[in-house]
Amino acid sequence: MRLPVLAALLLAGAPLAAQDAPPARIDYAAERAAIARYQDADQRLQDVGWTLARGNAGFCPKVVPSIGLQLQDMASYGAPAVARRALGLKGDFAVQTAARGSPAALAGAFTRNREIALLERFDPNEWPAGAAMEWQRLVRAHDHIEAMLTEHGGIAIAFADGGSAARVQPAQVCATRFELMGDGGKAVADGARVVIGIGFPAFSYAEEPVFAAVVAHELAHNVLGHDAWLDRNGRQGKNVRRIEREADRLIPWLLANAGYDPEAAVTFMTRWGSKHDSGLRFRMGHDGWDERAEAIALEVAQVKDLMAREGRADWAAHFRREIDPAGGLLRKAGR
């Protein structure tokens, strides 16, 4: 779950076009198709991430305003000129995804690859960027959007095609960003982000609630403050085991509040565990998959009961913690 912060984002926009071949030899249709496959996977992640983060906003310790819009920056590719030409862009910034049901999606203006000219008064294309594999500028654009939403309660976004600008008001969501990584088969949560590699096995789960269960496990680490707790209390096996158990047990709660069937949490663990639960390294940080599925099933019963009685599964009030979330805070403060 510890994230190499720089490497993850570095890869986030680089599924292809890594080498600079002479322009004549580049198959732009193939480049475009590769980008589209990457964007399809990102759309899937953003749809599920939005649904979970929005549905649980009432219980998360920290919420932020969001419009559910992901941009792409050509500078983050290994060969920006190739990516730009493959997508038919003049500048560097364009729409990547608008999460299903988000204000950006409901605005109807944020179609994939539509070129961005202004984020409020700022043209992100004018911000300096490195020659290639530059991820910082895209983070800056997303930070800028969030700052505008926080300060002004909305943002106007203008497009390079001259169509009318879109004015969008945010909704409150749990403070986590969801990011697709261009390679790798892991899923990690670093407190502020959930990063999932495009090779992660969960992308093969066709049913959305089962895929959502995987994303919910990672989101659980963030909303329960696990990374910071491990920083303070140590990453030895017994501590990792406790936070992994908590993240598993919170999955059905997060699913239910997002409108998914909480049973999908058990389906995920059974399917994933029976296939991947082998090897010493895995066992050191986790219980066996059958124990994990059982622990999740116990939560499902409680979640269903709460949903029937209260129409929501308030995990901030009812979830049984296995760690003291404030543990180590005093020591950290030097007492």
Q: State both tokens at 7.
A: 């490497």
Q: Which is nearer to Zn ion, 35 or 230 (CB)?
A: 230
Q: State both tokens at 132.
A: 């290639």
What is the distance between the alpha carbons of residues 93 and 75, in angstroms, rounded to a whole number? Answer: 9
Exposure on the CB side of residue 132, measured as CA atoms within 13 A: 14
What is the distance between the alpha carbons of residues 121 and 305, in angstroms, rounded to a whole number? Answer: 49
Strands 177-181 vs 193-197: parallel, antiparallel or unpaired = parallel
Q: Which is nearer to Zn ion, 159 or 315 (CB)?
A: 315
CB of 280 to Zn ion, least distance (A): 17
CB of 290 to Zn ion, least distance (A): 17
- Footprint on residues 215-254 left by Zn ion (CB under 5 A): 244, 247
Q: Which residue is nearest to Zn ion (CB)?
A: 247
CB of 29 to Zn ion, least distance (A): 39
Q: Beta-strand (E) ranges in 24-154?
A: 63-66, 69-73, 93-98, 116-119
Q: Which is nearer to Zn ion, 142 or 217 (CB)?
A: 217
CA proximity to 286, closest of 304, 273, 297: 273
CB of 223 to Zn ion, least distance (A): 13
CB of 220 to Zn ion, least distance (A): 8
Q: Which is nearer to Zn ion, 186 or 318 (CB)?
A: 186
Q: Which is nearer to Zn ion, 227 or 244 (CB)?
A: 244
What's the distance, CA 38 to chain centroid? 14
CB of 217 to Zn ion, least distance (A): 6
C-alpha dihedral, 146 to 149 to 152 to 153, nearest 10°: -160
303 three-class SS? helix
Q: Which is nearer to Zn ion, 12 or 188 (CB)?
A: 188
Q: Which is nearer to Zn ion, 179 or 244 (CB)?
A: 244
- Footprint on residues 288-307 left by Zn ion (CB under 5 A): none
Q: Who's near 216: CB < 8 A, 6+ residues apart?
A: 52, 250, 251, 254, 255, 258, 265
Judged by CB under 5 A, the number of residues near Zn ion is 2
Rg (C-alpha) for the chain, rounded Å, is 21
Q: Who's near 40: CB < 8 A, 6+ residues apart?
A: none
What is the distance between the alpha carbons of residues 195 and 7, in angstroms, rounded to a whole number? Answer: 11
CB of 247 to Zn ion, least distance (A): 5
Write each residue from 115 to 134 as x if it is in contact with Zn ion (CB under 5 A), else as -, in one continuous string: --------------------
Give the residues lining the site for Zn ion (CB under 5 A): 244, 247
